Structure 1
Amino acid sequence: MLWIPFTLLAAFTQALRNAQQKQLSRDVNALGVTLARFIWALPLAVIYLALLHLIEPAELPQFSGRFVFDVSAAAFAQILATALMVLLFQRRNYAAGVGLAKSEALLAAVLGSVFFGALLGPLGWLGIVVGSAAVWLMKGRSAPGSLDLSTLLLGLGSGLCFALTTLWVRDACHQLSLPFMHTAAWALVWTISIQVAALTGWLALRDRQTLVKLWQRPSLVFRISLSSSIASLCWFTAVNLQDVGLVKTLGQIEVFFTLLLSQHWLKEQVSQREKIGLLLIVISAMLVVLPTLAVW
């Protein structure tokens, strides 16, 4: 049952982060916006891990080769996924691209079943399909011909990389013999450390001007990192407790949060197709959660 509130909080904070990243992407390139997601998240994650061990002491874990591989693969997959998402932000057909990127839930379920031994029941698979259909429906109307091949590949590539990230994180968490909160925190610290080192080193060598632009926007960069660290911690914890496909399907309620934020801040109207999509997302979430409630 705990995976449900963690997933809902992750979806909400991710909606906030995406809006902030879109704002930053107007002036900063894809790798810079990607680094903004992680740069302050690292000290926040370390502080959280330290507090967790103070509140609930646990032995320091032993990190196997498989754990190191998993967190490294997850770190670079998440970098690529975020960079592709930022490129989608910078296109006119941004909404359509985000809809395509939300294929993550279905891709995670398929990859998890084939390569990671995840078992999903009929209702879980139905929820995944319904949720994916809902996001595609809500992707918005595009101008004729605007959904070109490059946008299609960017969206699907982003969804695939996000799916692989969560699958590798889940596998990494299962390599540690610690309480689930501790394993998620350790995986988060390792992953963000690799991401910050890789991105900062690359930009310092190849594009120092991007680092300067990030330095000139401390408030926005910190808010992106804060919302990102909360979202990542909640995602990592949720996928440690439940199959990735189910977590990501329930997590598609992020689209609902995004629409609420758009209406509140931008005073936008919700179209009929968006209302139908919202209903389908609710149905998808119910299909995912009901089997868990029945067992509980």
Structure 2
Amino acid sequence: MLSFLWVPITLVASAAQTGRNATQRKLTEMIGTIGATQVRFLYGLPFAFLALAAVRLLSGEAVPLPNSGFAVYVIGGAMAQILATGLMLFAMRERSFSVVTAYTKTEPVQVALFGLIILGDRLTPVVAVAILIATSGVILMSVKPGTKLAGSGLRPVVAGIASGAFFALSAIGFRGAILSLGDGSFFIRATTTLVWSLGIQTAILLIWLGIFDRNALLQSFRVWRTSLWAGFLGAFASQFWFLGFSLTSAANVRTLALVEVLMAQAVSHRFLSQQTTKRELTGMVLIVVGVGLLLGGQI
């Protein structure tokens, strides 16, 4: 029963993240990029605590105590996620959103590689092919015809690919932290890891903003209603990402998560009246084929 539970869990996480991204885009216009970034951690942390309290109450399980292995993984994952976001934003200042997205969406391939090296998460040949097909579909959708990926210098290319690498390392770090807790259900281990990761990220960004961008921090308090909604969606999405990481390899989760691209496309088509090109349709087909192979490879 649990062997395929990660599939609906990942789909819920992808849908929630699509909503969070839309909310954070609105916040970026109001309080800037860094201010909008820290909202997902600062305002998400209380909801993570509530989730942990609910799981503790309903399951009757004790909250697992962290160990040295857990500390290394969760701190590494938390810091990797912050670095990934920073590198992505840096690349987007020099290149278009779509091209940088193509760089960062190499993440599933890098997750598979790091997962094998760090955690020993092995892939079957079918799943490896599925990851490559789905990732190529995203890149095809992201890069418009005539776009030169390396046309404006090497720095944004390196930054974008490095961003995908750090996003991959964060996923591996969080999965490693969950697995290192040992005893307890996947619910209590995933939720405990979420609380610790958000706590670490909140502390780091509060210190950073307090020193270098106090105005952005104050602005996030002034728009607390929108910030609270973004924090809730961020914590909700992260809760389900972590549940997925507790049940299967990070490569499986992050490859299936590419359906988020299809969700974003549907939102653009429905609410922004944007038309879908043949190139984008081809990319969608590749994503669907890749995801189908991924799921078929689990049987």
Fold conserved between structures, TM > 0.5: yes
The yes-or-no answer on 1:269 pairing with 2:297 is: no
Among 25, 45, 64, the alignment partner of 2:67 is 64
Task: Tell me whether 159-168 or 29-38 shows the greater mean CA deviation.
Answer: 29-38
Q: CA offsets per residue over residues 214-242 of structure 1, 9 Å max, x none? A: 12322332222122111111111101111
Among 119, 122, 126, the alignment partner of 1:123 is 126
Structure-2 residue corresponding to 1:160: 165
Q: CA offsets per residue over residues 16-61 of structure 1, 9 Å max, x none? A: 2222223333354443222011111100000010011111111232
Structure-1 residue corresponding to 2:53: 50
Among 199, 208, 214, the alignment partner of 2:214 is 208
Paired residues in the alignment total 293
TM-score (norm 1): 0.93
> CA shift at 1:115, angstroms?
2.2
Residue segments in structure 1 that go unaligned for 5+ positions in a row:
none
List, as ranges, runs of 4+ consecutive aligned residues in structure 1 with deviation greater than 6 Å. Answer: none
Identical-pair percentage: 31
Alignment of 1:79-228 (within 5 A): 79-88=82-91, 93-141=96-144, 144-145=147-148, 147=150, 148=152, 149-176=154-181, 177-228=183-234
Rounded Cα–Cα distance in structure 2 between residues aligned with 1:220 and 1:146:
35
Task: Tell me whether 186-195 or 27-36 shows the greater mean CA deviation.
Answer: 27-36
TM-score (norm 2): 0.92
Rounded Cα–Cα distance in structure 2 between residues aligned with 1:110 and 1:285:
18
Is contact 1:70–1:168 with CA below 8 Å preserved after alignment? yes
Structure-2 residue corresponding to 1:21: 24
Is contact 2:6–2:247 with CA below 8 Å preserved after alignment? yes
SS state of the match for residue 174, structure 1? helix
SS state of the match for residue 283, structure 1? helix
C-alpha distance 85-281 of structure 1, shift in aligned 2 (>3 A): same
Is contact 1:22–1:89 with CA below 8 Å preserved after alignment? no
Q: In the alignment, residue 252 of structure 1 is paired with which amino acid? A: L
Q: In the alignment, residue 157 of structure 1 is paired with which amino acid? A: A
Rounded Cα–Cα distance in structure 2 between residues aligned with 1:30 and 1:84:
13
Rounded Cα–Cα distance in structure 1 between residues aligned with 2:279 and 2:145:
13
Q: In the alignment, residue 84 of structure 1 is paired with which amino acid? A: L
Please provide the CA RMSD for this pair: 1.8
C-alpha distance 22-157 of structure 1, shift in aligned 2 (>3 A): farther
SS state of the match for residue 56, structure 2? helix
Q: In the alignment, residue 18 of structure 2 is paired with which amino acid? A: A
Is contact 1:88–1:98 with CA below 8 Å preserved after alignment? no
Task: Tell me whether 145-154 or 200-209 shows the greater mean CA deviation.
Answer: 145-154
